[in-house]
Amino acid sequence: MADEMSLSEKPRLRLLLVDDEAGFVDVLARRIAKRNIQVCKAYSGYEAVQILRKEPFDVAVLDLKMADMDGIELLKILKKMAPDLQVIILTGHGCEAAARDGMSHGAADYLIKPCDFEELTAKIQQTALHRREF
Amino acid sequence: MTTPSQFEQTAYYKALMHKMLVTIMTVSFIPVFLVSSTIFYQFRISYKEKIYAQFMDIVQKHTMSIDMFLTTKLQEIQYLSRSVTMQKFTENMFLQQQLILMQQVYGPVLVDLGVINDQGDQTAYAGPYSLAQAHYTDAGWFRKVMADSYDISDVFLGLRGVPHFVVAVRNYQDGKPWILRATIDFEAFNTLVKKIRGGETGFAFIVNREGDLQTRPTFTNHLDKHVIKMLFKEKTIPNKSVNAHIIETVDASGVKVIYTASLLKNGDWLLIYRQNASDAFSRLNQTQTISVIIFVLGGIGIVIMASVISKRMVHRIAVSDHEKEILNQQVIETGKLASVGELAAGIAHEINNPVAIMVEEAGWIQDLLDEEEFRQSENLDEFRRAVTQIKTQGARCKDITYKLLSFARKTDPRQQDVQINNLISELTALSNQRAKLSRVEIHAELTENLPLLRLPVSELQQVILNLINNAIDAMERKGGQLFIYTRREERHVVVEVSDTGSGIPEANLSRIFDPFFTTKPVGKGTGLGLAICYGIIQKMGGEIRVRSTLNVGTVFTVYLPIPDANHHSVDECKER
C-alpha cells in the first residue's frame, strides 16, 4: 500500500502491483522500485480497487488467481475505473487460455509465472511507452 | 510374479483339467458305448436266431429221415409177411432165402428174421444166432405187437446179449395171429444218428421215454434225465408247424449247453442234438472279443487324447491368464503413474510460488550488491557467484516444474485449422537466438501447398518446439546443422527434424519415448519431453518415429493425419 521509493524528481512510471502472495509482491516491488519505477503494492483485488480510487497509475500487473477476486473480474473493474490504465497479466503455467481471455478484455500483455524479472520490467516499460503514445 | 508352469500347479487349474478330462471322456465314451452295444445286441439276437434255425433244420431233417428209415423197414417186413402164408415161412430154407435176398437188396441192416406163433414160440428163424427155439411171451415187443399189430421196439440186449431192436408185424393165419419179426442191426442204425455232427461239440443221439439211450453218443456225457424229461414234456403235444424244440441249460460241469429235440417213432423216441453254447456261438464270441478289444483300445486312445487335449488347453488358459495378469499389472502401473503425475503437478504448482520468491530475493541481493557500499567488500565476487548460483538453480526448478505441469495438465482440446509451415516458421524464429548461441544453423525446407490440419495448436507447438530444442541440445558442444522438412505422404503430413549431433546408441532408441528416460547430463533433462510428445502425437492419431546413427545424427519423423474434409483442397493443390 505504501510507496516504496520516491527518489527521482522526474515524473516516474507509476505501477500498481497486485498479488495475494505477499512475499512475492514485496521483493518484486523492491526490485522494480530500484529501477526508477514508482511501485504501489496491493495484496488483494479489493485493496487494488481502493488504491486506484486514490491515485492514478500508468501500468498495473495483476495476478490471475487471487483468494478474494478473479483476476479477470479485477481487470474489468480497473479498466472501468481507469480506461487508459495498461494491464499486464501474470498467470500460472497452464492457464494461458485465461490470460488470452484477459487480452480480449483489454489487457496489454501477459506473462507466465514464474517470470523472468528482466522480461517483466521490459514489458512494463514497453506498455507504459505504448500508453503515452496512445 | 508366477510363471505359467507354476500357475498350472495350482488347485484351480488341476480342477479345471480334471473337469475337462471327465467331460471329454464322458462325451466320447457314451455315444460309442451306446452305439456299439446296440449294434452288438441286435447282431447277437439275429445270430442266435440264425443258429437256432439251423439246429431246428438239422434235427427236423434227420428226424424225418430216421422216421423214414424205420417206416421203410416196417413196410418191408409187412410186405414180406403178407406175401406168403405162415406155413411157407416155417420152411427153414425159405426164411433163410428171404433174409439173404433182403440183405442183398437193402444192405446188411437186417440181422435176422423170425416167425413167432401166438404162444410166443419162435417157429422159424434165419440169422447168425441160434435162437430157433426162443420163447418171447415175456418180451415187451411181443405183447405190444399182439395188441397193436406192429411194433418197433426200443434198443435192448435181449437173449443174444448184443444191442439191437426189433421190427415185428402181426398177421393172421386161420384166425390165429402169428408174428414176423426182424432184427435191425444196431450199428447200421447208430451210424444214421452218429453222422449228425456240428462244430466241435455238436452231436446227436436218441433216447426213449425212460431216458435210455437208443444210440451210442459220440461223447459219453452224463445225460441229464431232468433235461430229457423237460424235452419230452415240451413235445407231449406235438406242434404241427414246429416239431422241434430248443432249450438252453447248464449241465453238471457248469457248461452252457443247447439241446434241440424232436420226437420220432410216434413220440416214443426223441432225437436230441446237443452242442455247447460256446461252440455254437464261437463266431459270435469271437466278434464279441474283437469288439471288446477295439472298445478297450479305443477307450485307451480316448483317455490319452483327452488327457493330452485337456493338458494343452489348461496350459493355454494358464498362459493367457498369466498374460492377462501381466497386462493388469501394467494397467495398474499406468494408473499409478498417472496419479503420480497428477500429484507431481499439484506439488509443482505449489513450489512455483516459493521458487519465484527465492529467485526474486536473490535478484534483490544482486541489485543491492551493485550499490556503492558493497563494492569494496572483499567477498563481493563470492556473493555474486552465490546469488547467481541461487538464480540458476531456481531457474532449474522452474524448468522442472514447468515440464511436470506440461506432462500432467489437461491440455486445451480445441482443434483449429493449422498451416504447419506457418507454425514451423514461427517456431524456428523463436529458436533462432538459442541456436546461434549453440552455433547451430537452422534450415527449413517446407513443401508448399500442404493441406490444412485440424489439431490442437498449442500441443503441436509443444511437440515441434521440443524436437527443435532436443536437436539443438544434441549439437550444443560442437554446433551443427538442424534441418526441418515438411512433405506429404498419402494421408499424412510429415514433419522431419534432423540434427548432425552425436546420435543415440541403439540400446537407448527403444526407450527414448519412455517417461523419465534421458541421456542428457544429470540436472539437464527431466526425461519427460519426448514422452509428452509421444502422448500428444498418439492422441492426435499420428505417429512419431526416430532413427539415429552414432556420430552422424538423429532424425525424428512426425506423421500428422490429414482430416477427411481436406480432400478437395489437397487434390486441387496436386493439380496445380
Residue B75 inside a domain? The answer is no
For residues B253-272, average pLDDT: 87
Contact A93 B363 (CB under 8 A): no
Environment class of residue A89 by beta-carbon count within 10 Å: exposed (0-12), middle (13-18) or buried (19+)?
Answer: buried
> Is B536 in the same domain as B490?
yes
- A134: pLDDT strictly greater than 70: no
- B6: pLDDT strictly greater than 90: no
- B295: pLDDT strictly greater than 60: yes
Contact B353 A24 (CB under 8 A): yes
**Using CA atoms, how far apart are residues B566 and B307, in angstroms rounded to an integer?**
60
> Is B122 in the same domain as B142?
yes
Classified as helix, coil or strand, B281 is coil
CA distance B510 to chain A (A): 30
Read off the pLDDT band of B335 (50, 70, 90). low
Spatial CA neighbour of A13 closest among A4, A22, A21: A4
Average pLDDT, chain B: 83
Q: What is the pTM of this model?
A: 0.48
CA distance B538 to chain A (A): 21
pLDDT one-digit tens code per residue, B193-237 = 888 888 888 889 898 888 888 888 877 666 677 777 777 776 544
Range of the domain at B366: 337-408
The predicted pLDDT at position B78 comes to: 92
List residues in chain A touching B: CB distance below 8 A. 21, 23-24, 27-28, 30-31, 34, 92-94, 96-97, 113-115, 117
Contact B352 A114 (CB under 8 A): yes
Q: Which of B77-81, B90-94, B360-364 has the lowest mean pLDDT?
A: B90-94
* Contact status, residue B257 vs residue B228, Cβ threshold 8 Å: no
> Is B427 in the same domain as B569?
yes
Q: Which residues of A touch B356 (CB under 8 A)?
A: 21, 24, 113-115
Q: What are phi and psi of B156, to 5 degrees?
A: -150, 165
Residue B329 inside a domain? The answer is no
Instruction: Give the strands of the sheet with B543-549, arranged side by side.
Output: B440-446, B480-489, B492-499, B553-561, B543-549
- B19: pLDDT strictly greater than 60: yes
Residue B77 inside a domain? The answer is no
Read off the pLDDT band of B475 (50, 70, 90). confident
**Nearest chain B residue (CA) to A28:** B360
More confident residue, B516 or B254: B254
- A2: pLDDT strictly greater than 50: no
Contact B352 A94 (CB under 8 A): no
CB-CB neighbours of B393 under 10 Å: 15
> Is B527 in the same domain as B454?
yes
CA distance A28 to chain B (A): 6
**Boundary-marking domain end, from B320, B349, B371:** B320
Q: Does B357 touch chain A (CB under 8 A)?
A: yes
Instruction: Say which CATH number the domain at B221 has.
Output: 3.30.450
For residues B61-90, average pLDDT: 89
Only one residue has cell 514497453, namely A126
**Using CA atoms, how far apart are residues A30 and B361, in angstroms rounded to an integer?**
9
Comparing CB atoms, the residue among B360, B405, B412 nearest residue A93 is B405
The predicted pLDDT at position B289 comes to: 92
Instruction: Say which CATH number the domain at B425 has.
Output: 3.30.565.10
Contact B356 A97 (CB under 8 A): no
> Is B139 in the same domain as B182?
yes
Q: How far is CA A55 from CA A11, A16, A65, A118, B203, in A?
A: 14, 10, 24, 27, 146
Instruction: Say which CATH number the domain at B178 has.
Output: 3.30.450.20
- B576: pLDDT strictly greater than 50: no
Residue B269 inside a domain? The answer is yes
> Is B394 in the same domain as B459?
no
The predicted pLDDT at position B159 comes to: 76
Only one residue has cell 449247453, namely B257
Q: How far is CA B500 from CA B146, B475, B477, B478, B511, in A?
A: 146, 7, 12, 10, 21
Average pLDDT, chain A: 83
Q: Which of B136-145, B329-338, B463-472 has the lowest mean pLDDT?
A: B329-338
> Is B311 in the same domain as B369?
no
> Is B288 in the same domain as B346?
no
- B569: pLDDT strictly greater than 50: no
Longest dimension (CA), chain A: 41
Only one residue has cell 493439380, namely B575
For residues B313-327, average pLDDT: 89
% of chain B residues with pLDDT over 70: 89
**Boundary-marking domain end, from B188, B212, B246:** B188
**Nearest chain A residue (CA) to B371:** A34
The predicted pLDDT at position B573 comes to: 40
Per-residue 3-state assignment (H helix, E strand, C coil) for B392-436: HHHHHHHHHHHHHHHHHCCCCCCCEEECHHHHHHHHHHHHHHHHH
pLDDT one-digit tens code per residue, B493-508 = 999 999 998 888 888 8
Q: How many residues does chain B have?
A: 576
> Is B239 in the same domain as B94?
no
Query: Which of B349, B357, B390, B412 best tests the A interface by mutation, with the highest count of A CBs <10 A?
Result: B357
- B463: pLDDT strictly greater than 70: yes
- B157: pLDDT strictly greater than 90: no
**Boundary-marking domain end, from B188, B219, B234:** B188
Read off the pLDDT band of A50 (50, 70, 90). very high
The predicted pLDDT at position B198 comes to: 85
CA distance B462 to chain A (A): 12
CA distance A63 to chain B (A): 12
Environment class of residue B385 by beta-carbon count within 10 Å: exposed (0-12), middle (13-18) or buried (19+)?
Answer: exposed
Domains contained in chain B, number: 5
The predicted pLDDT at position B409 comes to: 55
Residue B74 inside a domain? The answer is no
Comparing CB atoms, the residue among B355, B364, B402 nearest residue A27 is B364
pLDDT one-digit tens code per residue, B388-413 = 999 888 888 887 777 677 656 544 55
**Nearest chain B residue (CA) to A34:** B367
The predicted pLDDT at position B516 comes to: 72
The predicted pLDDT at position B107 comes to: 84
Environment class of residue B483 by beta-carbon count within 10 Å: exposed (0-12), middle (13-18) or buried (19+)?
Answer: middle
Alpha helices in B84-164 (DSSP H): 86-90, 92-106, 140-148
> Is B481 in the same domain as B570?
yes
The predicted pLDDT at position A87 comes to: 92
The predicted pLDDT at position B570 comes to: 41
pLDDT one-digit tens code per residue, B354-366 = 888 898 899 999 8
> Is B531 in the same domain as B512?
yes
What ipTM, to 2 d.p.? 0.82
For residues B427-456, average pLDDT: 85
Q: Which of A90-94, B88-92, B447-451 has the lowest mean pLDDT?
A: A90-94
The predicted pLDDT at position B42 comes to: 94
CA distance B368 to chain A (A): 9
**Nearest chain B residue (CA) to A98:** B412
Which region holds residue B501: left if phi is over 0, alpha if psi is between -120 and 50, else beta?
A: beta
Comparing CB atoms, the residue among A30, A96, A113 nearest residue B364 is A30
Q: Does B349 touch chain A (CB under 8 A)?
A: yes
**Using CA atoms, how far apart are residues B334 and B301, in angstroms rounded to an integer?**
49
The predicted pLDDT at position A4 comes to: 46
The predicted pLDDT at position B156 comes to: 83
For residues B39-55, average pLDDT: 91
CB-CB neighbours of B573 under 10 Å: 15
Residue B330 inside a domain? The answer is no
More confident residue, B409 or B95: B95
User: Cα B8 from chain centroid?
Assistant: 22
**Nearest chain A residue (CA) to B370:** A34
Helices B11-83 + B282-369 axis angle, to 10: 170
**Using CA atoms, how far apart are residues B132 and B115, in angstroms rounded to an integer?**
10
- For residue A16, list its beta bridge partners: A40, A60
For residues B411-424, average pLDDT: 77
> Is B556 in the same domain as B474?
yes
CA distance A65 to chain B (A): 12
Query: Which of B360, B396, B401 best tests the A interface by mutation, with the highest count of A CBs <10 A?
Result: B360
Contact A21 B409 (CB under 8 A): no
Read off the pLDDT band of A5 (50, 70, 90). very low
Residue B328 inside a domain? The answer is no
For residues A82-90, average pLDDT: 90
- How big is the A-B interface in CB pairs under 8 Å? 48
Q: How far is CA B406 from CA B345, B416, B558, in A?
A: 8, 20, 20
- For residue B167, list its beta bridge partners: B152, B182
- A20: pLDDT strictly greater than 60: yes
**Using CA atoms, how far apart are residues B518 and B466, in angstroms rounded to an integer?**
14
